[in-house]
Structure 1
Amino acid sequence: MITGGQSYVSAPPAFSADGRLLLVCSGRAVSVFSTATAMLVSELEGHEGDVTAVVVVAPPAQATAAAKLASYCWTAGLDGVLIYWDFLAAEVMRKVQVGLPVHSMVVPDIYRTSKGVEVSSPFAFISVEDTSKLASEPKALCGQMRVYDLTKGRQVGGLLAETRKPEKIVASSSGEFLGITNKRKLHIWRIPTKDFKPDKIRKIKLRHTKHLTTLAFHPTERTVAGGDVTGRILIWRCFGNSKFSESSVQSKEDDGRDGVRGDDDADTCTTWHWHSSSVRFLKFSSDGAYLFSGGLEGVIVVWQLDTGKRRYKPRLGSPLLFFVDSPDSSISCVSCTNNQVYLLKMPNMEVMRSIAGIKLPIASPNLGGSNRAVYGFDYTNRLVAIPTEDYCIQFYNLFENAEVSEVQVCERNFQPIDDITMYISMVSLSIDGDLMCTVDVKLPEEGLGGLVTLKFWNHGSRAGHYFLSTVIYEPHSDDGVSSVAFRPGRNMAVSSSFGGNFKVWVQSLSSQSNDERNCSGWRCQSVGSYKKKPMTSAAFSADGSVLAVAAESTITLWDPDNNALVGVIAETLSPVTNLSFVGTSVFLMSLCQSSRPQIALWNVSNLSMQWSYSIYAEAACCSPDGSEFAVLALLSCPDGEASTQQDGVILLFDAESSNPIASWSVKKASGGSISFVKGDVPLDANADSSRDKEPMLLVYVNGSHEYAIFDPRESEEVVISKNKHKKIQAEEPAPIGYASIYGELTKLEPKKEVSDVPFVPSDRPWETIFSGSSHVLPPLTKLCSAFLSSLLEKRPVANE
């Protein structure tokens, strides 16, 4: 089984000590990427729950010189385990059992005296969830902040804090201060970094009038910044002078305490405001001169700490979540809600590369009656096509767990606060992946201005690349499009409408144009209807000779070439939402999703029902060249808007029998989808390679866009390493000596006879003779003579 699609932005990432690697929490693993190439280097797999924190730490003091070149980190997860890794070797060094889900963790640098010598002693400050308390209770304190001795593997001291929910812990760069946000307060602890004892930890609170969302500590000064839900940033300077210092520095009645509320232990409090909504992150620069902030606007704001002046890094295209800088201060990264991590070149914050995961689900309004998730599957190239929030279609390689491309369906400028005015309601691909069709809907404003657009796309030079062929506005008058299906082996498609008709579209080729982008267009060949009933779904048979169209609860059969009705199948219990032919057989599968759900199999040859089940199915798919079909069923019929956390089951059927031949329990089935994909090789290396059928794999995408690929023909679950199907890049050795400071030297070419002119003469030398940087150009005396000689006509001189 292959899994992928995990979120890369569920927790802040972490840089390695040299900044060459980025450790990203991805589901139950930690993915290690190269910052130079943004390629996957390795994965740390050891947790049984989602990883929520990764902290890079210094190597142990007793490590050998060779071992100190390696890199180490601690990870925490919802399985209640802390794991110590050598992440270059992907090796587990130690495990500490906590027993409760860990939501956040910091490991500050703490030293203790052993035999007169200060040695590093790892202590972890963790935020856990007390599962014995019900979060629904009005005053239940489910969040706890604890201290763990990582050397002895046990908790030390009592609870540092109890909160309504587990809060994110933030540590200063020195490890001396820790803080969390708790409603309208900042809780700050001073940690004794030398001779650490839990009873020496001191705590203060800083208050605000609004709920605080994030905080950050200054790297050198006793200054803390906090962001609130309204977009304001507050900066408390010289906090803890009374309680954290050895002696009181000033009186609380001092008049110089501008902006400080009540008796809070701080000198001044300054407020800045630019963000229009909640501040997601705050981060001071390594020199402490600037403060970075980000939020829903998708803009990184850089504040100059002394003056309050600001500059911006705009057009990141998605709300921001985390900002992390590397130890060498030349590179940073920002995590966005669209499951992308951008690597930034500092200080200009130029986007160098991006680590793109599968886009997370978006909220699309319901138009025309279907709440189903919108997915498209490329059976041949093993890609999934998912509409994104910025009106794109993201093509994602299921086997490599990597983005292939994005196709912009509609133009859009990112506006984080605007209501949804347009969305992509449908994406459909031909079985060979050569054609794509999309439907985008512009919602009416006050009942006016709605628009449905049908677009046909032709395949480009590479998998996942498409160019626009034809745009059709209002293909079915003012009614929405319910389904689109391509005819196998022909450039033909059919679209059905809730308005009561379906249209057959054909691609017309032009022999007058040599440009493939302009050589074809789509036109309507015929229109069909049945008793003016809404057409809810359509499908072609495997050979393309039969077109099945559902007229609400009636299934009609048509000849697509002549647009002639050839048969009518008995009615179903409720309107059909999905039709699909089972491979090359005579069976047709129908799916009904309503208060009276039904999954039914029909025999097209005699127009009769083979068998049916009254179960609620979220999705269904049929094998293109076999007799199997799969159904994703929910464990209970959803009432209203279903939660993505609802579990389900995948049932595999053979068309000849009503009994499922296999079943699998799955999580987050609501909003999910399933599809068969082509497999070049079986997942099981020990499988019988002599079997006749081509490997046929089944892919399941859940409501959170996480997916799993497995072989439905195998009776036992085969679990393999995900790295075997991913592009794993071997990490290059770090440069040393001269190269580490100035970079690699250019390779010297063998000496050749060259003239004084630093370029190769050409027919038009004056176009390039003065090009180049001024400090590398030859003197003007040499350039002038070469320039003048190029203007003169040279003639051979005969010697008399």
Structure 2
Amino acid sequence: MIVGGQSLVTSSPVFSHDGKKLLLCTGSTVSVFSTTTGMLITELEGHTERVTSIVVVPVAGTVGTKFSNYCWTASLDGMIFYWDFSTPDLLKKVNVQLPVRSMVIPNILSASLGRSDKASQNLYAFISVEDANKEVENVKHVRGSIQIYDLTNSTHVGGVLAETQKPETLAISKSGEFVGIKKQQQLNIWRVPNKNLKSVNMKKLKLHHTRTLSCLAFHPTKCIVAAGDVSGRILIWRGFGKMRYSQDGGGKMKIDMGDRPGVRGEDDADSCSTWHWHSSEIKFLMFSSDEAHLFSGAKEGVIVVWQLDTGNKTYKPNIGSPLMYFTDSPDPSLSCVSCEDNQIHLLRMPSMDIIKSISGIKPPLILSELQGDRSHVMIGCDRSNGFVALPTKDYRIQFFSLLDGTDISHLQVIERNYDPVDETTVFISLVEVSDDGSMMCTVEEKLPEMGIGGLISLKFWTRGSHTGQYTLSTIIYEPHNNAGVSDVAFCPGRSMAVSTSYCGNFKVWVNNSSFIHSGDEIQEKGGWRCQSVGSYREIPMTAAAFSGDGSVLAVAAETKITLWDPLNNVLVAIIGDSLGPIRRLAFVGSSEYIMSFSAGTKTDLVVWNISNLSTHWSYKLLVEDICCTRSETRVAVLALRSSSDKSISTGKDGMVLVFDVENPIPVSTWFVKKAKGGRLSFINNKLGEATDGKLLLAYINGEHNYVLFDPSDVKEREDLIPKSARRPQSYAHDENVSHGYASIYGELPSFDLTKARSSDNIPFVPSERPWETIFSGSSHALPPLSKLCSPFLEALLKKAEKQTVLSQ
């Protein structure tokens, strides 16, 4: 089983102590990447739910100190783990019994320095937890709370530090002196005591604002805190926590208000200034390592660098996606920025040039507000190479390898600059790839403005010399007048395709291209043209599919299936009615069956027999997708489960059913998560030995997490819940770092297991060259010297040959 597709940007990444590794929260695992090569090194597997926080233990002493690759992780499974991520080994478990949304460890620096006093050795974690069952009378539902946990003794400290309506993200200063959260329109800040935390009675400092706050950051050394709000404003409080008091005429202490520009009410700060450039919610704030600048980012995809003293700003534009996190490294020349499109860019500081990118599978393009009942676009799948073609928000198609879990390439489909702030008016609504991957078709739609100006374009692409490389062959504007394209299918073995439309017709397209070799380049002459047009009673055509040999074309006319001769455009037969409008069609290999499922208020899954034009078997199911093998009679169905099913509360809202088309009883069944918008496809296995070259079934859920498995393997008949993020890759050449014994004494000599004897547990094994083996083995297991001496001396002496005297 191969799993992947998890988001790389659900939480802020963390650099290792030397800046050579980057630790990412990827689902229920922690993925460790090399900052030199951008490749995956290893994974920390142990949590059962999504990992939310990573805290790397800093180095005690000089850079390069051994035994420094340790980290703490927190997860929604209510567990906090302590890891050695160089091995990787799980060293300690702490159960806090509530889902942890955020975690910081203020005194981890002092504890790592190895101070002699016992108080400094205890590690205390500030955690933001969620308790969905908690109810408070006469107060809005409170689900979040800030608590303190003693990691050394695995005990809870005192009660609750603060309560929030939802779990909030914790922020911490570099020195560990301050911990804070944003709570609606205010900041709550606590000063962490130096001594052992025996209770949660710490003084809380509040700073107020008129708008809802979205993030905060502490200055590395000064009492300065910055916060961003949902309107794009940045507030800088200076000198917080230094409130001065004076006596009034009656001898009572009162707050010395003095001259505090910009400070609201009795907030404990010397001044507050406001900066504004962003037009959307601030996603991150971070002070620079030189302590003179502040970085900010939002939806615009621009990193703004503010000068603290003057408020002047510079920009790093054209990141290409809304920003989420900005993380600095112990190496001052390296930082990284996390983007909403599931990419992390490593930046060379201070120029902020992108030197390396870590890319995951792009998030789905949601169309619920644009195209009615169609919530997701149709993604393409190359069965021969095992990669998918995914439309993205920036008018491109991402080619992603499911077998390797790597980003292959990106193709610009719509010639338009992407601005994350602009409203979506143009999008790629459909992608279809031929079975052999040699051809691709895309449909793009431009929404009308004020009822005019809409446009639909059908584009055909030809594969280049490399996988995932396509060149544009033909553009057809308004292929079906003003109606939308409902489906596209390629004919196996021919340069032929069919497109169906809601206007009541379908068109068969053929490619008459010829290729001319001009030096090293191959130029295409000609292109795709419409060969024929067909319709059935002007009923909207909703789906299409070719048979395995390409001799039959099936087109769904809402509830009916029409069978055509694609070469002569002749209607051959009509198959009966389904319960609702047919959404997808698929021929089952070279058999006489065709499968369909309908959408709408009345849904069903039907297998039709083409030879007698009748129903073979059917189910009343809410189906999301189907796929069939080309050479066998296996079919796979992705169905949504009924909302009345109690087990849906676990998140398993769908199921994958595998049938042999001759039998209506499923061969195998798996329960899956996030089935809405999911896809299924059989692909060829390029890994060879894993499944002996058999077909693999790929399930891609609504959030583009995927699982590849052999549907005929009984050992894999379990819930398809992705847990691991990627298949680990090997170290790059410059990443072979020595640890433990090897880092001190060097590598041990290699041992050839093929030469091992069955009597390896015996310290002395007689042989023809005994002087090479008599002293081998552990010293405590060797025989006494009295037994070794005689064989050793005999081995050094040359034995005299015996002479035989014959009597006469």
TM bucket, shorter chain: 0.7 to 0.9
2:134 corresponds to which letter in structure 1? K
**Cα distance per residue 1:332-379 (max 9 Å; x no partner):** 111111111111110011011111111112222444864454211110
Q: Is the 8 A contact 1:368 1:480 kept in 2?
A: no
Distance 1:224 1:372, change over 3 A: closer
Question: 2:678, 2:641 → 1: CA distance?
Answer: 13
Deviation at 1:31, TM superposition (A): 0.7
**SS in structure 2 of the partner of residue 404 of structure 1:** strand
Question: 1:353, 1:505 → 2: CA distance?
Answer: 42
Which residue in the other structure is 1:56 paired with? 56
112-121 or 646-655, larger mean C-alpha shift: 112-121
Q: Is the 8 A contact 1:426 1:439 kept in 2?
A: yes
**SS in structure 2 of the partner of residue 405 of structure 1:** strand
**SS in structure 2 of the partner of residue 716 of structure 1:** helix
Which residue in the other structure is 1:404 paired with? 408
Pick one of 83, 86, 89 that aligns with 1:88. 86
Which residue in the other structure is 1:704 paired with? 703
1:728 corresponds to which letter in structure 2? S
Which residue in the other structure is 1:223 paired with? 224
Which residue in the other structure is 2:729 paired with? 727
Question: 1:724, 1:682 → 2: CA distance?
Answer: 18
1:467 corresponds to which letter in structure 2? T
**SS in structure 1 of the partner of residue 32 of structure 2:** strand
1:376 corresponds to which letter in structure 2? G
Q: Is the 8 A contact 2:500 2:541 kept in 1?
A: yes
Deviation at 1:537, TM superposition (A): 0.7
Which residue in the other structure is 1:380 paired with? 384
Which residue in the other structure is 1:789 paired with? none
Deviation at 1:68, TM superposition (A): 2.9
Question: 1:437, 1:339 → 2: CA distance?
Answer: 25
Deviation at 1:203, TM superposition (A): 1.6
Which residue in the other structure is 2:142 paired with? 141
Question: 1:219, 1:180 → 2: CA distance?
Answer: 17
Q: Which has the higher contact order (CA 8 A, sep 6+)?
A: 2
Q: Is the 8 A contact 2:634 2:659 kept in 1?
A: yes
Deviation at 1:44, TM superposition (A): 0.7
Q: Does 1:567 align with 2:573?
A: yes
305-314 or 608-617, larger mean C-alpha shift: 608-617
Question: 1:243, 1:23 → 2: CA distance?
Answer: 43
Q: Is the 8 A contact 2:185 2:210 kept in 1?
A: yes
Question: 1:95, 1:511 → 2: CA distance?
Answer: 63
Question: 1:359, 1:114 → 2: CA distance?
Answer: 46
2:95 corresponds to which letter in structure 1? Q
Show the 5 A alignment for 1:279-290.
279-290=282-293
Which residue in the other structure is 1:323 paired with? 326
Question: 2:244, 2:699 → 1: CA distance?
Answer: 56
622-631 or 253-262, larger mean C-alpha shift: 253-262
Show the 5 A alignment for 1:16-95.
16-58=16-58, 68-95=66-93
Question: 1:93, 1:454 → 2: CA distance?
Answer: 56
**Cα distance per residue 1:35-90 (max 9 Å; x no partner):** 111111111111000000011013689xx999834411000000000000111111
Question: 2:63, 2:36 → 1: CA distance?
Answer: 26
Which residue in the other structure is 2:302 paired with? 299
**Cα distance per residue 1:310-335 (max 9 Å; x no partner):** 00011111111111000121111111
Deviation at 1:253, TM superposition (A): 3.4
Question: 1:243, 1:83 → 2: CA distance?
Answer: 42
Distance 1:511 1:419, change over 3 A: closer
Deviation at 1:138, TM superposition (A): 6.3
Which residue in the other structure is 2:656 paired with? 650
**SS in structure 2 of the partner of residue 157 of structure 1:** strand
Deviation at 1:304, TM superposition (A): 0.1
Question: 1:645, 1:136 → 2: CA distance?
Answer: 29
Which residue in the other structure is 1:338 paired with? 341
Question: 1:710, 1:263 → 2: CA distance?
Answer: 62
Which residue in the other structure is 2:154 paired with? 153
Normalised to the residue count of structure 2, the TM-score between the two structures is: 0.85
Deviation at 1:117, TM superposition (A): 7.8
Deviation at 1:727, TM superposition (A): 3.1
Deviation at 1:645, TM superposition (A): 6.3
Show the 5 A alignment for 1:521-670.
521-636=527-642, 647-670=653-676
Q: Is the 8 A contact 2:120 2:195 kept in 1?
A: no
1:121 corresponds to which letter in structure 2? N
Which residue in the other structure is 2:756 paired with? none
Show the 5 A alignment for 1:358-369.
358-364=361-367, 365-367=369-371
Q: Is the 8 A contact 1:175 1:193 kept in 2?
A: no
Listed as ranges, the gaps of 5+ residues in structure 2 are 246-252, 739-808
Distance 1:215 1:700, change over 3 A: same
Question: 2:651, 2:375 → 1: CA distance?
Answer: 16
Which residue in the other structure is 2:5 paired with? 5
Q: Is the 8 A contact 1:191 1:202 kept in 2?
A: no
Deviation at 1:199, TM superposition (A): 5.4
Deviation at 1:399, TM superposition (A): 1.7
Pick one of 437, 441, 453 that aligns with 2:441. 437
Question: 1:455, 1:299 → 2: CA distance?
Answer: 32
**Cα distance per residue 1:72-131 (max 9 Å; x no partner):** 100000000000011111111111011100000011235479755885432111100013
Question: 1:137, 1:118 → 2: CA distance?
Answer: 41
Q: Is the 8 A contact 1:680 1:695 kept in 2?
A: no
Identity %: 52
**SS in structure 2 of the partner of residue 159 of structure 1:** strand
Which residue in the other structure is 1:501 paired with? 505
Question: 2:235, 2:216 → 1: CA distance?
Answer: 9
Which residue in the other structure is 1:394 paired with? 398
Which residue in the other structure is 1:750 paired with? none
Listed as ranges, the gaps of 5+ residues in structure 1 are 245-249, 736-800
Distance 1:646 1:424, change over 3 A: farther
Deviation at 1:243, TM superposition (A): 8.4
Distance 1:600 1:566, change over 3 A: same
Q: Is the 8 A contact 1:616 1:637 kept in 2?
A: no
1:471 corresponds to which letter in structure 2? I
Normalised to the residue count of structure 1, the TM-score between the two structures is: 0.86
Which residue in the other structure is 1:131 paired with? 132
Which residue in the other structure is 1:104 paired with? 102
**SS in structure 2 of the partner of residue 483 of structure 1:** strand
Question: 2:709, 2:555 → 1: CA distance?
Answer: 31
**SS in structure 1 of the partner of residue 66 of structure 2:** helix
**SS in structure 1 of the partner of residue 584 of structure 2:** strand
Which residue in the other structure is 1:189 paired with? 190
**Cα distance per residue 1:492-519 (max 9 Å; x no partner):** 1111111111111111123656453423
Distance 1:677 1:181, change over 3 A: same
**SS in structure 2 of the partner of residue 570 of structure 1:** strand
Question: 2:136, 2:551 → 1: CA distance?
Answer: 58
Distance 1:55 1:725, change over 3 A: closer
Question: 1:585, 1:136 → 2: CA distance?
Answer: 65
1:480 corresponds to which letter in structure 2? G
Question: 2:88, 2:65 → 1: CA distance?
Answer: 14
1:26 corresponds to which letter in structure 2? T
Distance 1:9 1:369, change over 3 A: closer
Question: 1:421, 1:66 → 2: CA distance?
Answer: 52
Show the 5 A alignment for 1:423-462.
423-462=427-466
Q: Is the 8 A contact 2:285 2:294 kept in 1?
A: yes
Which residue in the other structure is 2:248 paired with? none
1:383 corresponds to which letter in structure 2? F
Question: 2:538, 2:472 → 1: CA distance?
Answer: 32
Q: Is the 8 A contact 2:282 2:297 kept in 1?
A: yes
